[in-house]
Amino acid sequence: MQFRLEKRQEPSKFMAYATPVAAVALTMIIGAIIFSLIGYDGVGAVREIFLTPLTNSYKWQDLGVKAAPLIIIGVGLSIAYRANVWNIGAEGQYIVGGLCATGIALLTWGMTGWWILPLMMLAGMAGGMAYASIPALLRTKLKVNEILTSLMLTYASVQLIYFLIRGPWKDPMGIGFPQTRLFSEAARLPTIIPGTIVHLGVPIAVLVAIIAWFIMSKSVFGYRMRVVGAAPHAARYGGFSENKTIWLAMLVSGGLAGLAGMLEIAGPFQRMVPGFPTNYGFTAIIVAFLGRLNPLGVIVAGVVLAITFVGGEVAQTTIGLPNAATGIFQAMMLFFLLAGDILIKYRVRRVMPQTSTEVA
């Protein structure tokens, strides 16, 4: 008995929803086995990473705070990837967004006023957009691959943080620490639930995803993105300029990454430090794929990835699992998801050996 792949008439809707769930489930099972084989408490690792953050209600606020930037960046990336624009430099756009917001916070230091936070938000988005427009410009004018340029800019932006916080933005009272001064009250994001760390960025993330879902499914913009990605020839025939789509995709994904950077710097960090780049921009790539490039799916996927981050920290203290294990679980999820993609377009058929030799 042999198996053969047979092309489906239409992509399977059921599989599109089922494979992300199956990918998470498989990651838990295979992950437990692999980690047991290499000498860790595999079952314990999966329990702590995937279940403890959900069952312990005092971890929920951490989930919200970690999920927010992942969702915001993931939504932007899902829109870009739909259009086949491979922005993988969201981490750099997040960093520049955070830096621009920091710039406003330092300029307005000591001042009060309701306008400071919105201004930081605009600066963050503008920074992310500006940084994303470099790969967009190079791709549209010179056909330079956006994957490489957006990624190289990420490495460069990390150095920009170091330069600014060691030099011009260094905290005068910081006893030599490379960091900026603490933002004043008016430049810090308010918490929305008293007594928790849940800040304004959490509802903003959900709002961004819902708006994006609405735009992607109901507007011409969303239609353009989906058509250009799925059928570039048809899109050109239909009068959608490819270059304009690339610009839109880069600006939206860069702007949202910049917004996430602003929310992180004004929320949890409240000052620029060397540890500001936290890989949210890279993890959001997994979020976008796990959410099936659908903004509502991205909300769920963002929470799932946030669970693994929070759970990874739990597992570190309870069973001594190194923090790096989280990354392995996250990558496994993406591997299983990509492997499962084939089931959307193909179905598995059993064939008898005789018929298969005949075919060959």
Partner 1 sequence: MDLTLAIIVTVVGASTPILIAALGELVVERSGVLNLGVEGMMLIGAIAGFVVQFHTGNPYLALLCGAAAGMASSLIFGFLTLSLSANQTATGLALTIFGTGFSALAGSSYSARPVSLMEPLFPAELAAHPVWKVLFSYSFPVYFSFIMVVVIWYFLHKTRAGLILRAVGENDQSAHSIGYSVIGVRYMAVMFGGAMAGLAGACFPLLLTPQWAERMTAGRGWIAVALVVFASWKPFRLLAGAYLFGLVMTMELYAKAGGGVLSIIPSELWAALPYIATIVVLVLISLRRDASTNAPACLGKPFLPSN
Q: Tell me: does residue 216 bind partner 1 (CB under 8 A).
A: no
Q: Cβ distance 359 to 6 under 8 Å?
A: no
| Residue 200 vs 328, nearer CB to partner 1 | 328
Stretch touching partner 1 by CB under 8 A, among 181-189, 237-245, 300-308, 325-333: 325-333
Distance CA 121, CA 131 (A): 15
Instruction: Please report, for residues 16, 38, 220, the alpha-carbon distance to residue 214 in angstroms, rounded to integers and kept in the order given.
Output: 20, 46, 11
DSSP string, 215-237: HHHHSHHHHHHHHHHH-HHHHHH
Q: Tell me: does residue 274 bind partner 1 (CB under 8 A).
A: no
Strands (DSSP E) contained in 170-291 are: none
Q: Tell me: does residue 339 bind partner 1 (CB under 8 A).
A: yes
According to DSSP, residue 219 is labeled S
Stretch touching partner 1 by CB under 8 A, among 11-19, 158-166, 213-221, 238-246: 158-166
In the list 49, 63, 88, 299, the residue contacting partner 1 (rule: CB under 8 A) is: 88
Instruction: Tell me the closest approach of the beta carbon of residue 114 to partner 1, in angstroms.
Output: 35
| Residue 145 vs 217, nearer CB to partner 1 | 145
Nearest in space to 146 (alpha carbons), one of 128, 125, 131, 158: 131
- Pull the structure tokens for residue 101: 């917001």
167 to 186: interface string for partner 1, x by CB under 8 A: x-------------------
Instruction: Tell me the closest approach of the beta carbon of residue 289 to partner 1, in angstroms.
Output: 6
Q: Tell me: does residue 273 bind partner 1 (CB under 8 A).
A: no
Distance CA 110, CA 187 (A): 9
Q: Cβ distance 307 to 63 under 8 Å?
A: yes
**Collapsing DSSP states into helix, strand and coil, what is residue 305?**
helix
Nearest in space to 97 (alpha carbons), one of 113, 77, 73, 116: 73
Q: Tell me: does residue 228 bind partner 1 (CB under 8 A).
A: no
Instruction: Tell me the closest approach of the beta carbon of residue 250 to partner 1, in angstroms.
Output: 15
| Residue 105 vs 134, nearer CB to partner 1 | 134
Q: Tell me: does residue 315 bind partner 1 (CB under 8 A).
A: no
Distance CA 250, CA 153 (A): 14
Residues lying near partner 1 in the complex (CB under 8 A) are found at 86, 88, 134, 138, 142-145, 147-149, 151-153, 155-156, 159-160, 162-163, 166-167, 282, 285-286, 289, 322-328, 330-332, 334-335, 338-339, 341-342
